[in-house]
Structure 1
Amino acid sequence: MSSNDHPYQGLKTIADFVRRGASRFAAAGLHYGHGTDNPVDEALVLVRHALHLGHDLPRELYGARLTKPERKAVAALLERRVEERVPAPYLVGEAWFAGLPFHVDPRVLIPRSPFAELAAQGFQPWVREDGVTRVLDLCTGSGCIAVACAMAFPAAEVDAVELSPGALEVARRNVARHGLEDQVQVLEGDLWAPVEGRRYELIVSNPPYVGDTEMAGLPPEYRHEPDLALRAAEDGLAIVRRILEGARDHLAEEGVLVVEVGNSAAAVMDAWPDLPFTWLEFERGGSGVFLLTAEELV
């Protein structure tokens, strides 16, 4: 065996490689949070991918013995995770969001937003399903939130706006993957510019909101994600400020705006002390998402 897969010498089964991979990850101090939250699940994702097996792999196959080429392929992928600190979704080219698979690569942020839970609930009780005819997703990235909103509101038209040409390609690929080309329109441009004159019952956004100080402290895994999708000036508030400035002109009379700002929540409240933010709570984890109605934005 090569020096690359030496740490996996003598392993034979899927379970063997998952266990050893998890041990390697823990010893290396890897960071999780891009689809998994522990070394065992992270290793399992990579082992399955290297073997061309789906996420629904039956437990009884975990004891299956691997061929020599399979052992080398699994070992190489596990070691890439350790040596390069690349998040697993980039290594496998896929991430799951709101129960749906999405293509991802380093041109887009890896989906991990609590918006998945909101979409699964149809944004209840904040909107009526039969009252949503148009949805806008600003800074759509991979398109995962726009697709999830289209699934939640099948009768609604969804506009997804993105500035990055690379991210636009990924978003369009994901819209096509889920057969939503007739419902979801991916638009190139800077925030409100491509939707001038349009109004929506629901506007959502997971914009860049990480300030320079927080960026400096992020684990190496985040360095593989596009800086444009993470970093924002004014301590993370620059894009949020522009969203708030234009939202009232694009919300329908009873529309709502929902924006994720993560750890910048305190800074948002300090910057706009007179806005009556509703900070949403999530059963599956996540925080830093505010909601404002069109009336409150006046």
Structure 2
Amino acid sequence: MKLNQILKKKIIIKELFSIQDVVRWIASCFSMADLWYGHGADNPWDEAINLVLPLLGLPPYIWNIVYKSKLSIKERKIIFELVIKRIKKKIPVVYLTNKTWFCGHELYIDDRVLIPRSPISELINNKFKSVISSYKNPKFILDLCTGSGCIAIACAYLFPNAHIDAVDISLDAINVVEYNIQLHGLENRITPICSNLFDKLPKYTYDLIISNPPYVNKKDINFLPKEYLYEPKIGFISKNNGIEIIEKIISMSPFFLRKKGILICEVGDKMIKIIEKYPDIYFQWLNIKNGGVGIFKIENK
């Protein structure tokens, strides 16, 4: 059966009743479409779950509890329209639902910010085991290039006595961060700051700086799948073949870290360039088991 044949509204409205029925139908549609995954899922089935459950106000990880639940006709109609948008316009699912979960915490997301998918989440989920000494609890944390605020919010839950500054050059991103901070009631714990890296930061130092900065060469943007082109370019692009912002972070962070303070920075496929650029710096490259490369740790002397 061809995609156009199964993409009929009457099928989902009249013949599919449960969440499982609808997800199976969507997965079939997605598998026949020319889609690119990488914004929270890597296959049609998980992509379908990530579309349906957030629309219902439910996190994708409770699938096993709710999959037999029945959907209303109104819910099925809304889902159908978004499936069409996902297939025909290649809009990422997270921008269709405006919801995602990072380290188990719900976030509001729209196209003012990148969709959270950093492998730094694995470090947070593992409580920074073997990265931060177990007897150390950072009291002052900087989330540099915060985007949606996902890392700042996850760290606020992990370190309940810490104060966190969430910094981004984009005022649009800071507006999303503020919304997410309010969503979690963390106004007294996280301070959003619109700044070009360290320019407007307060005059104190941090125990921990975490950054997932832009590191894509401008020319490479043209080779990305269409799904990625919905995301703000300011969150992707860095000059000097993608490493200009990383260079600034490496050079400036010692002035904003306390003694024995730690910088954790994601550089992705720029790992080799950074090693070659800084032969005298000891980078501890962190092991990410669930995929993802190019995250280093530097301890301030």
TM-score in same-fold range (> 0.5): yes
The answer to whether the 8 Å contact 1:135/1:203 transfers is yes
Report 1:184-223 matches (<5 A): 184-223=190-229
The answer to whether the 8 Å contact 1:50/1:77 transfers is no
Q: Report the alpha carbon displacement of residue 127 of structure 1 after superposing the two structures with TM.
A: 2.3
Q: Residues 22 and 177 (structure 1 numbering): CA distance in 2 closer, same or farther, change over 3 Å?
A: same
Q: Report the alpha carbon displacement of residue 224 of structure 1 after superposing the two structures with TM.
A: 0.7
User: Amino acid of the residue matched to residue 11 of structure 1?
Assistant: E
| Structure 2 residues without counterparts, runs of 5 or longer | none
How large is the RMSD of aligned CA atoms in angstroms? Answer: 2.2
Q: Report the alpha carbon displacement of residue 201 of structure 1 after superposing the two structures with TM.
A: 1.1
The answer to whether the 8 Å contact 2:114/2:232 transfers is yes
User: Amino acid of the residue matched to residue 6 of structure 1?
Assistant: K
**Identity percentage over the alignment?**
37
User: Amino acid of the residue matched to residue 250 of structure 1?
Assistant: F
User: Amino acid of the residue matched to residue 273 of structure 1?
Assistant: P
After superposition, the C-alpha distances for 1:121-157 in whole angstroms (9 at most, x for unaligned) are: 3323232454422111111110110111112211111
The answer to whether the 8 Å contact 2:27/2:44 transfers is yes
Match of 2:15 among 8, 11, 21: 11
| Structure 1 residues without counterparts, runs of 5 or longer | none
Match of 1:31 among 28, 33, 36: 36
Distance in 2, Cα, partners of 1:263 & 1:251: 25
Distance in 2, Cα, partners of 1:53 & 1:143: 21
User: Amino acid of the residue matched to residue 192 of structure 2?
Assistant: V
Match of 2:284 among 278, 282, 293: 278
Name the counterpart of 1:118. 123
Name the counterpart of 2:169. 163
After superposition, the C-alpha distances for 1:8-44 in whole angstroms (9 at most, x for unaligned) are: 6363233332222112212212111111111111112
Give 3-state SS (helix, strand or coil) of 1:86's partner: coil
The answer to whether the 8 Å contact 2:90/2:227 transfers is yes
Report 1:95-110 matches (<5 A): 95-110=100-115
Name the counterpart of 1:288. 294
Q: Report the alpha carbon displacement of residue 183 of structure 1 after superposing the two structures with TM.
A: 1.2
Q: Residues 70 and 195 (structure 1 numbering): CA distance in 2 closer, same or farther, change over 3 Å?
A: closer
Name the counterpart of 1:256. 262
Match of 2:272 among 255, 259, 266: 266
Q: Report the alpha carbon displacement of residue 270 of structure 1 after superposing the two structures with TM.
A: 2.2
Q: Residues 11 and 201 (structure 1 numbering): CA distance in 2 closer, same or farther, change over 3 Å?
A: same
Give 3-state SS (helix, strand or coil) of 2:192's partner: strand
After superposition, the C-alpha distances for 1:70-106 in whole angstroms (9 at most, x for unaligned) are: 4322211111110111111111111111111111000
Q: Residues 153 and 52 (structure 1 numbering): CA distance in 2 closer, same or farther, change over 3 Å?
A: closer
Distance in 2, Cα, partners of 1:194 & 1:60: 46
Are 2:80 and 1:75 equivalent residues in the alignment? yes
What is the TM-score of this pair, normalised by structure 1? 0.90
Give 3-state SS (helix, strand or coil) of 2:240's partner: helix
Distance in 1, Cα, partners of 2:137 & 2:92: 39
Give 3-state SS (helix, strand or coil) of 1:248's partner: helix
Report 1:31-180 matches (<5 A): 31-51=36-56, 55=60, 56-57=62-63, 61-62=67-68, 64=70, 66-128=71-133, 130-180=136-186
Q: Report the alpha carbon displacement of residue 4 of structure 1 after superposing the two structures with TM.
A: 11
The answer to whether the 8 Å contact 1:254/1:293 transfers is yes
What is the TM-score of this pair, normalised by structure 2? 0.89
Q: Report the alpha carbon displacement of residue 274 of structure 1 after superposing the two structures with TM.
A: 2.4
